[in-house]
Amino acid sequence: MAFLSWHQRFSVGHAEIDQQHRRLFELVNHFDDVIQMGMPGELPHIVEDIISLGDAHFRFEEGVIQDTGFPRVAEHRKMHAELLDQIRVMQTRLMAGGHVSHKAVVRFLADWLTNHILREDMEYKPYLRT
């Protein structure tokens, strides 16, 4: 069973952004699947994919909200940079091995993604004209 399931409450009402969010959900689920399959060597690659897709998504989203009149574009951009920093720190820890609980990492990834969508991305939703 998928670790994260998409739900309408995650929709910001912009088809391309929703699609990108869904692809990030799929990567988090893939991370969980790979844990279940007992292939921990694959995990850093999946995190790498989350970082590159996340980075591309953040830049796309910043472009979309730029001209909407949403007043917190600069703060939103700063949050994106912090989110990338957080995931890179986690990636370093994962690569270093040691006592990293993979289940804790998948929960971190799920929270990392869903909290930002529900708390911060939703703030710009009323400003989108789609």
Toward Fe ion, which CB reaches closer, 32 or 61?
61
How far, in Å, CA of 14 to CA of 30, rounded?
24
Output 34 or 114, the one with its CB closest to Fe ion.
Answer: 114
Q: Which residue in 54, 45, 47 sits closest to 17, CA to CA?
A: 54
Shortest distance, position 20 Cβ to Fe ion, whole Å: 7
Q: Is 70 left (phi over 0), alpha (psi -120 to 50) or beta?
A: beta
Residues found in the chain: 130
Structure tokens at 54: 């996340």
Which range touches Fe ion (CB under 5 A), out of 22-30, 96-104, 105-113, 120-128? 120-128
Nearer Cβ to Fe ion, position 32 or 121? Answer: 121
Rounded Cα gap, residues 48 and 43, in angstroms: 9
Q: Which is nearer to Fe ion, 102 or 108 (CB)?
A: 108
32 binds Fe ion (CB under 5 A): no
- Tell me which residue has tokens 């001209």: 67
Number of residues that bind Fe ion (CB under 5 A): 2
Q: How far is the CB of 96 from Fe ion (least distance, A)?
A: 28
Site for Fe ion in 36-75 (CB under 5 A): 61
> How far apart (Å, rounded) are the C-alpha atoms in residues 41 and 17?
30
Does residue 35 contact residue 103 with C-beta atoms inside 8 Å? yes
Among 39, 50, 121, 127, binds Fe ion (CB under 5 A): 121
- The region of 2-10, 63-71, 90-98, 116-124 touching Fe ion under the rule CB under 5 A is 116-124
Interacting residues toward Fe ion by CB under 5 A: 61, 121
